């Protein structure tokens, strides 16, 4: 069935092209466009992500070197460095942001029953941010410090499948905690935060949603203990207390009770203190849930290591956001393919295989399933892994 189609063309068959057209129409992406469409732009940038291209000139050289295959890969416009640079600069990045959300919604349905380490029926999300350093003289809009530029990726991740559900891209000066105001909290879901997000007024908004939160407490945290609950010290739970905040402003921002859990991590030999508004889950489950928050840290490290989001093909804000959203789209697309084709290799392995086989005319499943699990562990044991 797929004989005669390149691997790249078979990948694009998994993309909802009709949904992409709706995104283009929503933001008038083809206004005054004659030949090089938004789809051509997306294909060029997707090719760059999959093959780790270094620059626009590099993209142009590689694609023009296979000119006879481009039509069958979905390209209709002429690939030109200047045309692609102009498209990245002027075409609304929200086209690709909305398209990524379509794929994210599909991926979440596929991974809805994925095991993430804790057996729970409730949805569990982790929210965090990661900074990407930029040169301030080249990216003057990316304000961070006096002589340093940066952007931040604020990400809400569904721990089932490690799928990013929401991503906000801001310049480096925007504090992470302000993005909590942009979230719409799902009733009954559990949200995990590190202590940098400790703001009692915002946490109380989550409590009234009604949703649950688990967050690390700061060292100078002041409280009044109301009573203690039994704690399983053999499993690391040193204290399980029901508390009330101490101090006028803290009590004003969060007038209700909280649960305070003190946990000793024997592996890293450190003590952790959690605050939550969930009074029903066992204390050990609360600690295990927070341990799963590390998945979002792993996600940030993984995409920085394996996708092109640290070196950019354009310097404008629109070009940077376009490249990041297309990178996220490729990440989610490969995750969808892995799930639908029931592939064993890790996400990293799949990307490595795709990077050198895009122009081959072989069935996609045959190419991606030819790596043995034992070989994968030997070759990539030192790499960060997701979907392993």
- Crossing angle (nearest 10°) for helices 347-355 and 317-340: 110
Domain boundary among 235, 261, 292: 292
CA gap 188, 122 in Å, rounded: 7
Tell me: do 215 and 286 sit in the same domain. yes
pLDDT along the chain (388 residues), means of 10: 76 93 93 87 93 90 84 82 92 95 93 84 91 90 88 93 90 91 93 93 93 91 89 88 90 93 87 93 92 90 86 91 94 93 87 89 86 46 44
Render pLDDT for 184-193 as a digit per residue (tens, 0 to 9).
Answer: 999 999 999 9
The vertex-254 CA angle with 250 and 255, nearest 5°, equals: 100
| Residue 281 falls in which region: left (phi positive, over 0), alpha (psi -120 to 50) or beta | beta
Tell me: do 279 and 322 sit in the same domain. no
Tell me: do 348 and 275 sit in the same domain. no
Task: Determine whether 213 is exposed, middle or buried from the number of CB atoms within 10 Å of its CB (0-12, 13-18, 19+).
Answer: buried
Q: Where are the beta strands (DSSP E) in the chain?
A: 124-134, 143-145, 148-158, 163-171, 190-193, 212-216, 223-229, 237-245, 258-265, 270-276
Render pLDDT for 139-181 as a digit per residue (tens, 0 to 9).
Answer: 999 989 888 899 999 999 999 888 899 999 999 999 989 999 9
Domain boundary among 258, 292, 326: 292
14 cis-preceded (ω within 30 degrees of 0): no
Tell me: do 277 and 228 sit in the same domain. yes
Q: Given this model, what pLDDT does residue 283 score?
A: 92
Domain hosting 343: range is: 7-96+315-379
Determine contact, residues 188/133, Cβ cutoff 8 Å. no
Tell me: do 288 and 232 sit in the same domain. yes
Determine contact, residues 124/214, Cβ cutoff 8 Å. no
Domain boundary among 277, 292, 307: 292
Q: Given this model, what pLDDT does residue 76 score?
A: 82
Q: Given this model, what pLDDT does residue 384 score?
A: 46
Tell me: do 199 and 288 sit in the same domain. yes
CA gap 134, 322 in Å, rounded: 16
Tell me: do 283 and 351 sit in the same domain. no
CA gap 332, 318 in Å, rounded: 21
Distance of CA 76 to the CA centre of its chain: 31
Residue 242 lies in a domain: yes
CA gap 344, 231 in Å, rounded: 40
Residue 82 lies in a domain: yes
Q: Given this model, what pLDDT does residue 20 score?
A: 95
Residues ≥6 apart with Cβ < 8 Å to 55: 313
Residue 111 lies in a domain: no
Determine contact, residues 286/214, Cβ cutoff 8 Å. yes
Residue 203 lies in a domain: yes
Tell me: do 266 and 326 sit in the same domain. no
pTM score of the predicted model? 0.88
| Torsion angle defined by CA atoms of residues 35, 39, 43 and 45, in that order, rounded to the nearest 10 degrees | 90
| Residue 300 falls in which region: left (phi positive, over 0), alpha (psi -120 to 50) or beta | alpha
- Crossing angle (nearest 10°) for helices 94-110 and 317-340: 20
Residue 353 lies in a domain: yes
Secondary structure of residue 111 in the 3-state scheme: coil
Residue 177 lies in a domain: no
| DSSP 8-state secondary structure symbol assigned to residue 5 | S
Residue 344 lies in a domain: yes
Q: Given this model, what pLDDT does residue 48 score?
A: 92
| Torsion angle defined by CA atoms of residues 300, 302, 308 and 310, in that order, rounded to the nearest 10 degrees | 50
CA gap 215, 196 in Å, rounded: 9
Determine contact, residues 201/225, Cβ cutoff 8 Å. no
Residue 165 lies in a domain: no
Determine contact, residues 309/329, Cβ cutoff 8 Å. no
CA gap 127, 197 in Å, rounded: 9
Domain count, the chain: 2
**What DSSP string runs through 167-208?**
EEEEETTS-GGGGGGG--PPTT-EEEE-GGG--HHHHHHHHT
Tell me: do 324 and 236 sit in the same domain. no
CA gap 133, 378 in Å, rounded: 33
């Amino acid at each position: 069935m797929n004989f005669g189609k390149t691997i790249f063309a078979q990948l694009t068959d998994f993309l909802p092209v009709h949904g992409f057209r709706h995104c283009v129409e929503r933001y008038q992406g083809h206004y005054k466009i004659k030949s090089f469409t938004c789809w051509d732009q997306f294909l060029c940038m997707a090719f760059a992500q999959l093959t780790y291209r270094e620059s626009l000139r590099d993209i142009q050289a590689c694609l023009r070197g296979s000119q006879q295959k481009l039509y069958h890969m979905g390209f209709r416009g002429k690939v030109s460095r200047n045309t692609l640079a102009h498209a990245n600069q002027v075409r609304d990045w929200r086209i690709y942001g909305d398209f990524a959300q379509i794929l994210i919604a599909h991926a979440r349905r596929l991974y809805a029953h994925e095991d993430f380490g804790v057996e729970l029926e409730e949805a569990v999300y982790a929210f965090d941010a990661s900074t990407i350093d930029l040169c301030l003289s080249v990216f003057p809009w990316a304000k961070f410090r006096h002589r340093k530029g940066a952007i931040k990726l604020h990400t809400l991740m569904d721990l089932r499948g490690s799928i990013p559900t929401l991503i906000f891209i801001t310049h480096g000066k925007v504090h992470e905690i302000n993005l909590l105001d942009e979230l719409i909290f799902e009733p009954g879901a559990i949200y995990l935060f590190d202590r940098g997000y400790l703001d009692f007024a915002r946490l109380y908004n989550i409590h009234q949603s009604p949703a649950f939160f688990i967050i690390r407490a700061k060292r100078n945290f002041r409280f009044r203990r109301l009573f203690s609950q039994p704690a399983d010290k053999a499993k690391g739970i040193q204290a399980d207390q029901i508390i009330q905040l101490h101090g006028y402003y803290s009590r004003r921002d969060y007038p209700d009770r909280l649960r305070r859990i003190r946990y000793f991590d024997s592996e890293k030999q450190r003590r952790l203190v959690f605050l939550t508004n969930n009074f029903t889950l066992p204390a050990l489950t609360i600690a295990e849930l927070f341990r799963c928050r590390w998945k979002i840290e792993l996600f940030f490290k993984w995409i920085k290591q394996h996708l092109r989001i640290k070196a950019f093909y354009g310097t404008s804000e629109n070009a940077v956001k376009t490249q990041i959203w297309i990178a996220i789209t490729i990440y989610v697309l490969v995750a969808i393919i892995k799930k639908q084709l029931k592939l064993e290799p890790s996400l990293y392995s799949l990307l490595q295989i795709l990077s050198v086989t895009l122009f081959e005319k072989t069935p996609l499943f045959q190419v991606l399933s030819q790596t043995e699990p034992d070989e994968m562990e030997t070759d990539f044991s030192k790499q960060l892994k997701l979907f392993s």
